[in-house]
């Protein structure tokens, strides 16, 4: 074949991949649709849509669901994402527990497991849980597209955990460790920061249509932020974005945002008898703070107001830098959001240069404590949604 023929073939392949992505993303965003509706919405002609959908049905990414009568003329066959053949897994690592979550290609949850773990045994436990989750998915007849582990702290692009103070890890090649133990041809293994992955989950499953610019803030293991800018996670040069807990609110030597607005410091102020060494999971303590706040306990309400004020000041720095549409308070912050948000909104508006905080809205996440695991799984669906079906070659 001549060189210009190679170029034409490559161009055709790129165009087809782009069009496949258009169809997949339409169905993921809009749900079941007829071929005619896909053509009308995407601008692709009907013959092209027919060819593309036939290809996707053959790859077991789409399925025909039946006839729709909500149209003039003959009923049309609707198409939907097919969850029967492929799945993806997300693992979330905390100092005291692991979470495994799997979704099928249609985005339906297949499993959600929580396991208590000691920090010094986390590496072995992660491998065991990953193997078990992958085995369960395969037993259901699905091929595992990929697995991503969500970790607090600094995670380099290659999957090495450079530094994770909550876990006591430094320079741990977690991706290499998992890749060596999960022996499936074509399985993609990745490691990423938990706040970034939670932001991805929030964008895809948080119920925020058009949420192309959002910030997810977590306080579960230090204060970190996951940034989605123009629809894409913001990773930075080496993957080290979002460490807002290191912000110093005041002159040199002043307390950091983590000291003033972290969940554990808040619990210490609201519950003077709280001993973090005796309780690895903060959830019971956070629930107790909420109980006291609902009962009108003055000291608890003051601790929440103070935390909200400091959190709002830190979020204003982000609002001035990246101008998000949404700032989402996740994990334990979400459980206390009704008391944190009023003070945080006031400080956010006060310290943001643009009027009305640049249009940013401060809301609570509804995804619970496993948002990062969900985001880890969703990233593998997103890669198929680019139209690159070569990922399915090993299925």
66: exposed, middle or buried (C-beta count within 10 Å: 0-12, 13-18, 19+)? exposed
pLDDT-based confidence at residue 211 (cuts at 50, 70, 90): confident
Q: Distance (Å, rounded) from C-alpha 366 to C-alpha 335?
A: 9
pLDDT-based confidence at residue 12 (cuts at 50, 70, 90): low
Of 340, 339, 338, 328, nearest in space to 366 by CA: 328
What's the CATH fold of domain 86-199+372-392?
Nucleotidyltransferase; domain 5 (3.30.420)
Tell me what pLDDT residue 166 has.
85
Tell me what pLDDT residue 70 has.
59
Cβ–Cβ under 8 Å, residues 127 and 121? no
Q: For 185-206, give one letter per residue: b (16+ CB within 10 A) or e.
A: eebbbbbbbbbbbbbbbbbbbb
Q: What is the CATH code of the structural domain delimited by 3-81?
A: 1.10.10.10
Q: Distance (Å, rounded) from C-alpha 162 to C-alpha 171?
A: 4
Please write the tens of the pLDDT for every residue from 132-166. Answer: 999 999 999 999 999 999 999 999 988 899 998 88
Tell me what pLDDT residue 1 has.
45
Consecutive H or E run containing 143: strand 143-151
Segment among 43-47, 56-60, 274-278, 337-341 with least mean pLDDT: 274-278
Beta bridge partners of 364: 329
pLDDT-based confidence at residue 10 (cuts at 50, 70, 90): very low
Please write the tens of the pLDDT for every residue from 312-363. Answer: 999 999 999 999 999 999 999 999 999 999 999 999 999 999 999 999 999 9
What's the pTM?
0.90
Cβ–Cβ under 8 Å, residues 150 and 100? no
pLDDT at residue 168 is higher than 90: no
**Residues above pLDDT 70, as percent of the chain:** 91
Q: What is the mean pLDDT of the chain?
A: 89
Cβ–Cβ under 8 Å, residues 83 and 107? yes
Q: For 147-168, give one letter per residue: b (16+ CB within 10 A) or e.
A: bbbbbbbbbbeebbbebbebbe
Domain ranges in the chain?
3-81, 86-199+372-392, 207-366
pLDDT-based confidence at residue 7 (cuts at 50, 70, 90): very low
Place of tokens 């005619």: 36
Distance from the Cα of residue 376 to its chain's centroid:
6
Homologous superfamily of the 207-366 domain (CATH): ATPase, nucleotide binding domain (3.30.420.40)
Beta-carbon neighbour count of residue 394 at 10 Å? Answer: 11
Tell me what pLDDT residue 276 has.
66
Tell me what pLDDT residue 275 has.
75
Cβ–Cβ under 8 Å, residues 215 and 385? no
- How would you list the strands of the sheet with 169-173, edge to edge? 154-155, 160-164, 169-173
Confirm whether 86-199+372-392 and 207-366 share one CATH topology: yes
């Amino acid at each position: 074949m001549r060189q210009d023929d190679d170029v034409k073939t490559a161009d055709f392949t790129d165009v087809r991949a782009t069009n496949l992505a258009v169809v997949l993303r339409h169905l993921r965003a809009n749900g079941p649709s007829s071929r005619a509706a896909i053509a009308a919405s995407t601008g692709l002609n009907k013959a092209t849509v027919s060819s593309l959908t036939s290809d996707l049905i053959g790859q077991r990414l789409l399925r025909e669901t039946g006839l729709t009568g909500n149209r003039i003329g003959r009923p049309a066959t609707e198409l939907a994402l097919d969850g029967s053949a492929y799945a993806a897994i997300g693992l979330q690592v905390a100092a005291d527990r692991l979470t495994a979550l799997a979704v099928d290609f249609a985005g339906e949850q297949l499993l959600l497991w929580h396991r208590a773990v000691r920090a010094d045994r986390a590496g072995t436990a992660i491998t065991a849980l990953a193997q078990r989750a992958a085995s369960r998915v395969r037993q259901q007849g699905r091929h595992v597209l990929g697995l991503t582990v969500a970790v607090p702290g600094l995670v380099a692009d290659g999957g090495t955990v450079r530094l994770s103070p909550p876990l006591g890890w430094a320079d741990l090649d977690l991706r290499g460790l998992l890749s060596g133990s999960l022996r499936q041809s074509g399985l993609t293994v990745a490691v990423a920061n938990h706040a970034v992955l939670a932001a991805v989950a929030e964008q895809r499953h948080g119920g925020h249509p058009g949420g192309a610019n959002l910030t997810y803030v977590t306080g579960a293991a230090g204060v970190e932020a996951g940034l989605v800018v123009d629809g894409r996670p913001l990773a930075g040069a080496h993957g080290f974005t979002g460490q807002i807990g290191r912000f110093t609110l005041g002159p040199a030597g002043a307390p950091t945002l983590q000291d003033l607005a972290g969940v554990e410091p808040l619990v210490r102020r609201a519950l003077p008898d709280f001993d973090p060494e005796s309780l690895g999971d903060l959830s019971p303590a956070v629930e107790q703070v909420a109980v006291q706040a609902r009962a009108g306990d003055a000291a608890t309400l003051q601790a929440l107001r103070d935390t909200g004020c400091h959190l709002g000041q830190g979020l204003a720095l982000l609002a001035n830098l990246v101008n998000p549409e949404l700032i989402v308070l996740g994990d334990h912050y979400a459980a206390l959001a009704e008391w944190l948000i009023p003070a945080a909104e006031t400080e956010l508006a006060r310290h943001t240069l643009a009027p009305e905080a640049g249009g940013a809205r401060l809301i609570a996440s509804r995804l619970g404590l496993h948002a990062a695991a969900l985001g880890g799984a969703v990233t593998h669906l997103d890669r198929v949604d680019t139209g690159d079906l070569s990922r399915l070659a090993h299925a």
